[in-house]
Amino acid sequence: MSTPRKAPTMADVARLAGVSPMTVSRAFKRDSSVSDATRSAILEAADNLGYVFDSTASNLRSQRTDFVAVTIPSINNANFADTVRGLSDGLKERGLQILLGYTDYDIQEEERLVEQLLRRRPEAIVVTGGRHTPRTRRLLENAGIPVIETWDLPDDPVGHVVGFSNAAAVRTMVDHFVSAKITRIAFIGGDADRDTRGTDRRAGFIAAMQAHGLDADRLIAAGTPPISMREGADAMGRLLDTLPDTQAVICVSDLSAFGALTECQRRGIDVPGQMAVAGFGDYEIAGICVPSLTTIDPQPREIGKRAADLILEVLDGRQSDPATIALEPILMRRLSSP
Amino acid sequence: MSTPRKAPTMADVARLAGVSPMTVSRAFKRDSSVSDATRSAILEAADNLGYVFDSTASNLRSQRTDFVAVTIPSINNANFADTVRGLSDGLKERGLQILLGYTDYDIQEEERLVEQLLRRRPEAIVVTGGRHTPRTRRLLENAGIPVIETWDLPDDPVGHVVGFSNAAAVRTMVDHFVSAKITRIAFIGGDADRDTRGTDRRAGFIAAMQAHGLDADRLIAAGTPPISMREGADAMGRLLDTLPDTQAVICVSDLSAFGALTECQRRGIDVPGQMAVAGFGDYEIAGICVPSLTTIDPQPREIGKRAADLILEVLDGRQSDPATIALEPILMRRLSSP
DNA sequence: CTGAAAGCGCTAACAT
DNA sequence: ATGTTAGCGCTTTCAG
């Protein structure tokens, strides 16, 4: 576990293999021109010495780091994890690694994080959402690398966008209920504007209700984002206590929706007979809970995949203008709604 | 988004501020000796130029990267996410960032990942589990940095350990059932030895049953780890079809346990009356589903926190011998068991 | 296919 | 409190 002596360098490997450091450098690259005999001699020498390639030196000299910076609101969220997985898979073939940071749904924290990440000279940066502090925006604009905003369709993007309209997605859900003659619909979401996607969903709910000429005043504040299952359950409790004639509730996420569902179970309220419930995200739980949960699939993995493709295109010079890729969230009709 | 000209360096900032590059370097460090006037002049000059500190150069020269490498099996798992959060919080105060990679529960992938991570010269490395390929082990042993294995208590640790016995934790659960006179107990887990923690849990189940003189042959293979909610439900279906006199089932994780629970709901099987169900992990869902799920809390956040503390101690020279910190998983008795 | 020279941008070490 | 010198370990560039 401890190596008291200094770690071996390429020069050490070169000496042992009887070649120049430059040849060792080439031997560690994939497609460079080194004879097979020389290469295997070098790799063996390296192995004997316990040599491990030093990226820090390589990064500085070549001005390439081979990683892409990614910020997500929370590491503990299956939707964002799926986006990261899509990104990761898409970038892997090019040898690009992901440097991940999370913002805790806080744009001040995002600012700190983005600066930290940019110091490490990523080849590109992917951020979640389209709302940033002025300084974050300036940092991104001046970074000189591809910038991709995701999970949103910002009015004034910094660079590229791979996302969807959170408001429009919720409108789809409202329409779904209204077409089933359900009109007394509530919304359970965060009580702060911290989570901009949550805020957009609530705004989309209000706008959609008003477009149908319906009251949009059944808004239940469930806590500070991210809203937990427990907070969803508590919010449903308050809704049932204060507005018992409510026919349906749209929740800001599947997690809060599942919490709400369990509260109905505990109180013996039939779902969807007495109360329909809808979520957002199409987390695994939505498909398997009883009754299964009507929700919106925002295609998180696809967001990551498309962002990765876009990054590769831009780095290859195949794409130069800022692109906006708008995905269509999918309404997943299940048993928690009519 | 595009910066055609080259990015400014410390030399540029120094020139504009009328000082030497060394003073600029000091101004960007926290506690270094620069007069307030000089520092603010420098920071202003940097701001005007849009200068962003270049860690790649700093890393090479100072031989410090200020990050800790962490490998986890999956990015989409609340337990591991909690450990990462504990680590992250504990390391943040020292300015250490986390470089995260995931192995997909595959020790071959772990080998690739560990080598990639070590090339970036982390200050320490935290891995999940105690089983590695011989090469991974060699890489870790020779890395010359603190190595911490987590989520397990390996027989022959590489270096430090912060973990718990997966087998002993499941024994606690078996004892819980047996003390309630429940003896026909099944285990739902993975069908491969890919997930070593899952394998240890199954082994712990078998050993505990045998210690009680009970048959340990109700083993249901639910798929390739990680076992999903859906796979847990399917496994429960097979269990009910083939061994209907089973009284209780212990699942390799809360996710599969919840799936199993929903299968009981769909079939009208009363839990825990006809079938008791237990999970592992104390995920949020365990506390809120109906009935709430008896499970084991392995204290994932605490694992991360302790690992972070240990790293700081070792880096400070306050701890030199390999340490093993064994945590005690907590049995969470809830409504899915008697 | 291989090598020699130079230098990436910062900071350790030493000075004052 | 600030400056000077040298060099971290690679790879770019140019040569053969």
- Quickly give A143 CA vs C6 C1' distance in Å: 28
Model pLDDT, residue B177: 98
Confirm or reject contact between A126 and chain B (CB < 8 A).
no
Find the residue closest to C9 using CA and C1' atoms: B57
The nucleotide closest to B35 (CA, C1' atoms): D1
Which residue(s) pair with A326 in the sheet?
A: A163
pLDDT confidence of residue A194? 84
* pLDDT of A4 strictly over 80: no
Mind telling me how many Å the CA of A81 is from chain B's nearest CA? 5
Is A62 in the B-facing interface, judged by CB distances under 8 Å?
no
Q: Which residues of A touch B290 (CB under 8 A)?
A: 262, 265-266
Q: In 3D, which of B264, B263, B268, B204 has the Cα closest to residue B231?
A: B263
Helix (H) or strand (E) holding B116: helix B107-119
Tell if B34 CB is < 7 Å from nucleic strand C. no
Judged against a pLDDT cut of 50, whether residue B159 lies above it is answered with yes
| Cβ-Cβ contacts under 8 Å for B127 (sequence gap 6 or more) | B70, B71, B110, B114, B140, B147, B148, B149, B150
Question: Higher model confidence: residue A31 or residue B202?
Answer: B202
State the smallest CA–CA distance between residue B46 and chain A in angstroms.
12
Per-residue flag: B11 CB under 7 A of strand C: yes
% of chain A at pLDDT higher than 70 = 99
Rounded to an integer, the average pLDDT of B50-66 is 97
Instruction: Please give, rounded to a whole number of angstroms, the shortest distance from the CA of A153 to a CA of chain B.
Output: 18
How would you classify residue B305: left for phi > 0, otherwise alpha for psi between -120 and 50, otherwise beta? alpha
Q: Is B284 exposed, middle or buried (0-12, 13-18, 19+ CB in 10 A)?
A: middle
pLDDT of residue B1 exceeding 70, the answer is no
Establish whether the CB of B20 is closer than 7 Å to any nucleic acid atom in strand D. yes
A54 touches strand D (CB under 7 A): yes
Beta-strand relationship, B147-150 and B97-102: unpaired
- Residues of chain B numbered 130-149 and touching chain A (CB < 8 Å): 138-144, 146-147
Q: A88 and A30 in contact (C-beta within 8 Å)?
A: no
User: Which pLDDT score, from 0 to 100, does residue A319 have?
Assistant: 87
User: pLDDT tier at A5 (50, 70, 90 boundaries)?
Assistant: low
Interface test with A, best of B25, B43, B56 (most A CBs within 10 A): B56
Using the predicted structure, report yes or no on whether residue B3 has a pLDDT greater than 80.
Answer: no
Distance from residue A47's CA to nucleotide D6's C1', rounded to whole Å: 31
- Do B1 and A140 lie within an 8 Å CB cutoff? yes
Per-residue pLDDT, averaged over B139-151, amounts to 97
| Token pair in block for residue A85 | 């997985």
CA-to-C1' span, B337 to D11 (A): 63
Separation in Å, CA A262 to CA A254, A278, B273: 12, 13, 19
C-alpha span between B273 and B291 (Å, rounded)? 11
Closest CA to A253 of A163, A337, A169: A169
Measure B11 CA to D3 C1' (Å): 14
Angle value at C-alpha B12, between B9 and B18, nearest 5 degrees? 140
Q: How far apart are alpha carbons B54 and B222 in whole angstroms?
A: 49
The answer to whether the C-beta of A19 is closer than 7 A to strand D is no
Contact flag, residue B21 CB and nucleic strand D, below 7 A: yes
**DSSP-assigned beta bridge partners for residue B186:** B249
For A130-156, write each residue's pLDDT tens digit. 999 999 999 999 999 999 999 999 999
**B31: confidence class by pLDDT, cuts 50, 70, 90:** confident
Report which of B62, B86, B82 is spatially closest to residue B311, judged by C-alpha positions.
B86
pLDDT on residue B329 = 98
Mean pLDDT, rounded, for A179-192: 94
Q: Is the CB of A30 under 7 A from strand D?
A: no
In the DSSP assignment, the letter for residue B231 is H
> Across the interface, which of B3, B54, B85 has its CB nearest the CB of A144?
B3
Residue A2 has pLDDT above 50, yes or no: no
Tell me whether residue B116 is exposed, middle or buried, using C-beta atoms within 10 angstroms of its C-beta: 0 to 12, 13 to 18, 19 or more: middle
**In this complex, is the C-beta atom of A22 within 8 Å of any C-beta atom belonging to chain B?**
no
CA nearest to B60, candidates A56, A1, A295, A62: A56
Q: Model confidence at A168, in pLDDT bands (50, 70, 90)?
A: very high
The reply to whether B62 Cβ lies less than 7 angstroms from strand C is yes
CB atoms A101 and B97 under 8 Å: yes
pLDDT value at residue A320: 87
- Distances in Å between the alpha carbon of A47 and those of A147, B109, B139, B325? 39, 20, 10, 33
SS3 content of chain A, % helix, strand, coil (to 5): 45, 15, 40
Which whole-number Å values give the CA distances from A314 to A146, A300, A321, B2, B7, in the listed order? 7, 21, 9, 12, 19
Best residue of A25, A28, A51, A52 to probe chain B, by most B CBs closer than 10 Å: A52
Task: Calculate mean pLDDT across residues B183-191.
Answer: 95
Q: Which of residues 85-104 of B touch strand C (CB under 7 A)?
A: none
Q: What burial class does residue A38 get, using C-beta atoms within 10 Å of its C-beta: 0-12 exposed, 13-18 middle, 19+ buried?
A: middle
Chains A, B: CB contacts under 8 A, how many?
A: 128
Write phi, then psi, for A139 (nearest 5 degrees).
-60, -45
pLDDT of B248 higher than 80? yes
Angle between helices B134-142 and B107-119 (to 10 degrees): 20
Asked if A59's CB is within 8 angstroms of B59's CB, the reply is yes
Considering the entire predicted model, what is its pTM?
A: 0.95
Q: What is the 3-state secondary structure (H, E, C) of B54-110?
A: CHHHHHHHHCCCCEEEEEECCCCCHHHHHHHHHHHHHHHCCCCEEEEEECCCCHHHH
Residue B164 has which token pair? 């718990």
Rg (CA), chain B: 25
pLDDT in tens, A97-107: 999 999 999 99
A97-102/A124-128 β-pairing: unpaired
Is B253 in the A-facing interface, judged by CB distances under 8 Å?
Answer: no
pLDDT at A171: 98
CB atoms within 10 A of CB B143: 25
Which pLDDT score is estimated for B30? 81
CB contact under 8 A, B99 and A99: yes
Statement: residue B5 has pLDDT above 80 = no
For residue A268, the SS3 value is coil
- How far apart CA B226 and CA B104 sit, in angstroms, is 9
Residue A250 is inside which H or E element, if any?
Answer: strand A248-251
Using CA atoms, how far apart are residues B272 and B293, in angstroms rounded to an integer? 10
What's the CA gap between A77 and A201, in Å, rounded? 18
Q: pLDDT tens digits for B290-335?
A: 999 999 999 999 999 999 999 999 999 898 899 999 999 999 999 9
Q: Which of A2, A141, A285 sits opposite B144 (nearest CB)?
A: A2
B9 close to A (CB below 8 A): no
Closest partner CB to A52 (pick from B3, B118, B285):
B118
Give the pLDDT band of residue A335 (cuts 50, 70, 90). very high
Q: Taking 90 as the threshold, does the pLDDT of residue A86 lie above it?
A: yes
Through-space separation of residue A20 CA and nucleotide C10 C1' in angstroms? 26
Mention every residue, 6+ apart, whose C-beta is less than 8 A from residue B276: B177, B182, B247, B248, B249, B294, B336, B337, B338
Query: How far apart, in whole angstroms, are the C-alpha atoms of residue A7 and residue A25?
Result: 16
Can you give the distance from the CA of residue A44 to the C1' of nucleotide C3 in angstroms? 21
Residue A147 CA, nucleotide D12 C1', distance (Å): 28
pLDDT at A58 > cutoff 90: yes
Query: Of A60, A65, A262, which has the smallest distance from its Cβ to B60's Cβ?
Result: A60
